[in-house]
Amino acid sequence: MPAAAEPTHPRTQDLDLAEVLAALGHPVRLEIVRKLASGEEAFCGEVVPDLPRSSVTHHLKTLREGGVICRRPQGRKLYLALRRDDLELRFPGLLELVLACRSRPLDSESDEQPL
């Protein structure tokens, strides 16, 4: 039986801002990105240890297809890395801005979301 094709990662020049933002737009995926922000590769189980496997698969696929992370299989393990250099080249400052922001509740005195 032939081996399954290795999933591809979008080329840097093909990264799309809407797809990157959509990938970063879920709290679980944003937390995965924060855990990978050090620049070191991490084993999949270290990054998302407390989620059902189907949820992990979905979130990692969304991040990979959006061009935010890359994955590298080694034996039975799957290693993940943030595509920091590619994202910085394509969308300068975006990743740092996203990583610097933390979700905050609405201000009780107004209906505006604080920046």
CB 67 within 8 A of CB 19: yes
Mean pLDDT, rounded, for 48-77: 91
Q: What is the CA radius of gyration of the chain?
A: 16
Mean pLDDT, rounded, for 60-71: 95
Q: What is the pLDDT of residues 11-32, one digit of tens each?
A: 999 999 999 999 999 999 999 9
Mean pLDDT, rounded, for 68-78: 91
- CA distances to 25, 35, 52, 53, 107 from 30, rounded to whole Å, are 7, 9, 17, 18, 22
> Taken in order 77, 15, 98, 65, is the CA torsion positive or negative?
negative
Is-above-0.95 flag for pTM?
A: no
